[in-house]
Chain A
Amino acid sequence: MMVDRTITIQCTGVEMTFKKKQALRNVTFSTNSGSIVGLLGPNGAGKSTLMRILTGILEPTGGLVEVLGRKPDVETLAQLSFLPDRGQLPNWLTADQWLGYASGIYPDWDITLEREWVRKLEVDRSMSIGTMSRGQEARLQLLTCLSRRTKLVILDEPFTGVDLLSRERISSAIAEETAGGDRTFLIATHDIREMESMFDRIILIGDGTIKGVYDTEALRDEGHSVESCYREVFA
């Protein structure tokens, strides 16, 4: 396994204000390639806003953001996979039709990866998206992210409403995909206990500000778990 430690995301003093409400204040952190980074914080902390800035969907009102070496825009959006919170796939299609459509719109679609993940995530291609459970649809969404050869995968709450076995399949897929060494995962989640052994680094965010950025093995070296650190910061 080759480990390439280039920086994939660099945020410096990022600010975001909606009308009078300040959603993000002085947000600074970075992520390295080949790592799994957890973006953790209570509801309304600014996680989704930050992710939308990283994908280039929103422009910050202040500070510097670099994703894959440049300011996020349509170009960077094409080079990363994003699983949005409350994202919905077209419910009138079957999984197979959706994958056919997705493979046509993404130039970096890899049919071998698609086949591999369809099998490992146990996605039924003939099933209509409209009749899928939350877990089945979440697996199909993740599959859509993983079937592209992107260096950065941003997942906003991939586990919400997803059953235990589907969550396990999704976590296994993320761990496996990171082993190649050149993919970065940024994952916003509340499933801390289940995900804590997956993270290289955690970014704790609350009230729009960074409460701490920690490398997880260094935390454990001082006798803290990800969960205890989260409690200390937010309780």
Chain B
Amino acid sequence: MVRSHTLRTQKGLVNDPMPPDMIWRIDDFLIDPSRPLYEQFVEQIRAMIAKGKLAPGTRLPSVRETASSLRVNPTTIMKTYQELERLSLLVTYRGQGTFVTNEQSAITRSRRELARSAVARLEELAQSIGLTLAQFIALAKEED
């Protein structure tokens, strides 16, 4: 879903925010309780944006709504949104809310970074059995 949103500043609209396009559900995330929670939310939302599961322009629920629906500390959610904003994947318009970016370049960059980190993990695994990445892939494709 692609939506354009202009910044509306008239009084009334600012205090009367639009409903979000979706609500986070607990099953949207797979959380390991022994790793920093905000890192995991950042990773998983980032992956949703990269995969297009969260379309550009989607209006996200507020920190308050998210903390409530996920039953997570609001500071964690605030840090998550801030980090995703720093990565240019989310944009916040005052009085309007937080949206998935419409900037294709930011999304592409994020997809590339996801691919790079996956390849780096694979490369590490290949090295652990004494192969290069190319040999590793060839080995996986070999027939029995």
Question: In whole angstroms, how far apart are the Cα atoms of A196 and B63 in the complex?
Answer: 18
Picked from B34, B37, B71, the residue with its CB within 8 Å of the CB of A228 is B34
Q: In the complex, what residues of B have CB within 8 A of residue A194's CB?
A: 71
**Beta-carbon nearest neighbor of A197 in chain B:** B72
Give the Cβ gap from A226 to chain B, nearest Cβ, in Å. Answer: 7
Q: Are A198 and B72 in contact (CB under 8 A)?
A: yes
Q: Are A1 and B74 in contact (CB under 8 A)?
A: yes
A104 within 8 A of B: no
Q: In the complex, what residues of A have CB within 8 A of residue B73's CB?
A: 36, 175, 178, 197-200, 216
Given contacts A197-B76, A198-B73, contact A176 B36 (CB under 8 A): no
Q: Are A173 and B68 in contact (CB under 8 A)?
A: yes
Question: In whole angstroms, how far apart are the Cα atoms of A226 and B38 in the complex?
Answer: 15
Q: How many A residues touch the partner, as a band?
A: 20 to 34
Chain B residues bordering chain A, tally (CB within 8 A): 21
Q: Are A197 and B31 in contact (CB under 8 A)?
A: yes
Q: In the complex, what residues of B have CB within 8 A of residue A220's CB?
A: 33-37
Q: Are A196 and B33 in contact (CB under 8 A)?
A: yes
Question: In whole angstroms, how far apart are the Cα atoms of A56 and B33 in the complex?
Answer: 35
Q: Are A1 and B78 in contact (CB under 8 A)?
A: yes
B135 within 8 A of A: no
Q: Is the interface of B mostly helix, strand, loop or mixed?
A: helix
Given contacts A1-B78, A217-B38, A220-B36, contact A179 B67 (CB under 8 A): yes
B75 within 8 A of A: yes
Q: In the complex, what residues of A have CB within 8 A of residue B71's CB?
A: 168, 171-172, 175, 194, 197-198
Q: In the complex, what residues of A have CB within 8 A of residue B65's CB?
A: 176
Question: In whole angstroms, how far apart are the Cα atoms of A228 and B34 in the complex?
Answer: 8
Give the Cβ gap from B44 to chain A, nearest Cβ, in Å. Answer: 14
Q: In the complex, what residues of A have CB within 8 A of residue B69's CB?
A: 172
Interface string of B15-55 (1 = CB under 8 A from A): 00000000000000001011111100000000000000000
7 A–B contacts, CB within 8 A, in A order: A172-B68, A175-B71, A175-B74, A179-B67, A180-B64, A200-B73, A224-B34
A residues sitting closer than 8 Å to B (CB atoms) are 1, 3, 34-36, 168, 171-173, 175-176, 178-180, 193-194, 196-200, 216-217, 220-221, 223-228
Query: A-B pairs with the 8 shortest C-beta distances?
Result: A225-B33, A179-B74, A179-B64, A176-B68, A175-B67, A225-B34, A172-B68, A171-B71
